[in-house]
Amino acid sequence: MTTSMSMRMTRLRQQLLSSSSPIYTTLSSRLGRITTTRHLPAAAASKRRPLSTSSPTAKAKQLLLLLLIVFALVLLIRAAMSSSSSSPASDATAAAPFENPRTVVKKLLAESQPEGQGATVRRSIGRHELRNLDPFLMLDEFSVSKPAGFPDHPHRGFETVTYMLDGAFTHQDFAGHKGTIRTGDVQWMTAGRGIVHSEMPAADGVQKGLQLWINLSSKDKMIEPRYQELQSNDISCAEKDGVEVKIIAGEAFGARSPVYTRTPTMYMDFTMRPGSQLHQPVPEGWNAFVYIIDGEGVFGTEKAPRVGAHHCLVLGPGDGLSVWNKSGKPLRFALVGGQPLNEPVVQHGPFVMNTRAEIQQAMEDYYHGRNGFEKANHWSST
Ligand code: FJE
Ligand code: FE
């Protein structure tokens, strides 16, 4: 046995023994349906009395009655017009333009925890209270300073999306792929059948970002690995009524991201000025969540309480999300949605498959350097 092999064995053993997450199986659960009913204003009934035509007091009464009728009619017409209006952007008090607006069904504060080698992450999806939100497996807000980081480790069966909020990170993989992403850049990595890589801070000070893990369907788990890298100035952005959006995946305000999402996904970074509001469609049937990066916002319905940074909000079913910034500071949050795969999820650390047997296979492939892990035996990051 070679030295590198025995090192790999020790590494694998340590990884498996120290793994805090036991093998678990979850069948994707469906969120309960919420329906809303609309109440239309009931038509007011007006009664007429026969009009008498004699004295001046009677004439005054007639005039008053006529005025009252006209006033009631004006009110009725206005009510009818506002209930049929479809452009709330022109009217700050209008109802959300969605048939079935999504509301917040779960709120979670992502607390800091140690991860990788000396790194700190605020995990929301992937922790006990929110095991996964099909097709999403994990969301970490990371804050890492040298020499901490995420040294050589494997992945199989899903995608990792790294979005830099502040600073720079360098990645290197076993196939010779190497690069640095900086503030505003995105690395969309499809691990597929296998990647071994390192992800380390590339500058002094605290390097911050978001890393999202998106599951791949059973038919895509063993595809060739692939990278899609977007520099901050290649990321589509748009602005409307005091709301700015950077589109990492999907479409908003008529602009589209060039990223190909094998598992259909939307990923937006919104910044809302104080006093602004947003009405963003989210495909019906998709699971979706919000992660607040900075500031405070009102999500789902105008009467909802304000929520601040580092909170993850799981959205219920519906066709769109409304957000209000009622604070005096900018509000920044990520809105992410994806089509659920509705497949069994069996995860063991960096391997996410459909069955226990496939996890066993992944561990053996990594250990022996097979089925996509061929280069693992002769590689380590520099
Ligand atoms: C990993 C432990 C880890 N969150 N956020 C076990 F830390 C990781 C891992 C990351 C990670 C990397 C970055 Cl750049 C940002 C992260 C976890 O690399 F993959 C396993 N299996
Ligand atoms: Fe990784």
Render pLDDT for 277-307 as a digit per residue (tens, 0 to 9).
999 999 999 999 999 999 999 999 999 999 9
Report which of residues 216 and 81 the model is more confident about. Answer: 216
Q: How many other C-beta atoms are found inside a 10 Å radius of the C-beta of residue 16?
A: 12
User: Within 6 Å (CB) of ligand 1, which residues are found?
Assistant: 115-116, 121, 140, 142, 150, 153, 162, 169, 199, 211, 349-350
| CA atoms of 311 and 314, how far apart (whole Å) | 10
Local confidence band at 61 (pLDDT 50, 70, 90 cut-offs): confident
Residue whose CA is at the smallest distance from ligand 1 atom 1: 350
Atom index in ligand 1 nearest the CA of residue 155 equals: 19
Ligand nearest to the CA of 138: 1
Find the range with the poorest average confidence among 67-81, 109-123, 229-243: 67-81
Find the range with the poorest average confidence among 10-14, 103-107, 332-336: 10-14
Local confidence band at 81 (pLDDT 50, 70, 90 cut-offs): low
Tens-digit pLDDT profile for residues 66-77: 777 666 666 555
Token pair, residue 105, equals: 């069904």
Ligand nearest to the CA of 119: 1
Residue whose CA is at the smallest distance from ligand 1 atom 20: 350
Residue whose CA is at the smallest distance from ligand 1 atom 14: 199
Q: Is the dihedral of CA 178, 181, 185, 186 positive or negative?
A: positive
Q: How many other C-beta atoms are found inside a 10 Å radius of the C-beta of residue 324?
A: 20
Atom index in ligand 1 nearest the CA of residue 169 equals: 14
| CA atoms of 124 and 3, how far apart (whole Å) | 39
Tell whether the model's pLDDT for residue 84 goes beyond 90.
Answer: no
| CA atoms of 127 and 122, how far apart (whole Å) | 10
Q: How many other C-beta atoms are found inside a 10 Å radius of the C-beta of residue 355?
A: 12
Average pLDDT, the chain: 85
Local confidence band at 251 (pLDDT 50, 70, 90 cut-offs): very high
Q: Which pLDDT belongs to residue 15?
A: 52
- Whether the Cβ atoms of residue 161 and residue 214 lie closer than 8 Å to each other: yes
Cα 172 → chain centroid: 26
| CA atoms of 316 and 334, how far apart (whole Å) | 16
Find the range with the poorest average confidence among 23-27, 66-70, 81-85, 262-266: 23-27
Q: Which value, to the nearest 10 degrees, does the dihedral of the CA atoms of residues 159, 160, 161, 163 take?
A: 180
Q: Which pLDDT belongs to residue 4?
A: 45
- Whether the Cβ atoms of residue 136 and residue 341 lie closer than 8 Å to each other: no
Tens-digit pLDDT profile for residues 170-201: 999 999 999 999 999 999 999 999 999 999 99
Using CB atoms within 10 Å of the CB of residue 70, give its burial: 0 to 12 exposed, 13 to 18 middle, 19+ buried.
exposed
Mean pLDDT of 100-104: 98
- Whether the Cβ atoms of residue 165 and residue 208 lie closer than 8 Å to each other: yes
Q: Which H or E element spans position 61? A: helix 56-84
Q: Which pLDDT belongs to residue 99?
A: 96
Ligand nearest to the CA of 15: 1
Beta-carbon contacts of residue 125 (< 8 Å; ≥ 6 apart):
132, 133, 136, 137, 138, 139, 212, 289, 312
Token pair, residue 277, equals: 């509001």
135 CA from centroid of ligand 2 (Å)? 18
Cα of first residue to Cα of last residue in the chain, in angstroms, is 23
- Whether the Cβ atoms of residue 247 and residue 268 lie closer than 8 Å to each other: yes
DSSP string, 142-159: EEE-TT-BEEEEEEBSEE
Q: Which pLDDT belongs to residue 63?
A: 77
Nearest to 117 by CA among 172, 186, 199: 199
Mean pLDDT of 217-232: 98
Instruction: Give the mutation target among 185, 200, 211, 212 for probing the ligand 1 site: most ligand atoms within 8 A of CB.
Output: 211
Q: Which pLDDT belongs to residue 17?
A: 37
DSSP string, 74-101: HHHHHHHHHHH---GGG-TTSPPS-SSB
Residue whose CA is at the smallest distance from ligand 1 atom 19: 350
| CA atoms of 187 and 381, how far apart (whole Å) | 18
% of the chain at pLDDT higher than 90: 74
Q: Which pLDDT belongs to residue 96?
A: 58
Ligand nearest to the CA of 18: 1
Q: Which pLDDT belongs to residue 65?
A: 75
Mean pLDDT of 314-335: 98
Find the range with the poorest average confidence among 14-28, 64-78, 142-156, 299-313: 14-28
Tell whether the model's pLDDT for residue 146 goes beyond 80.
Answer: yes
Q: Which pLDDT belongs to residue 276?
A: 98
Tell whether the model's pLDDT for residue 158 goes beyond 60.
Answer: yes
Residue 347 β-bridge partners: 24, 352
Q: Which pLDDT belongs to residue 30?
A: 29
Q: Which pLDDT belongs to residue 88?
A: 41
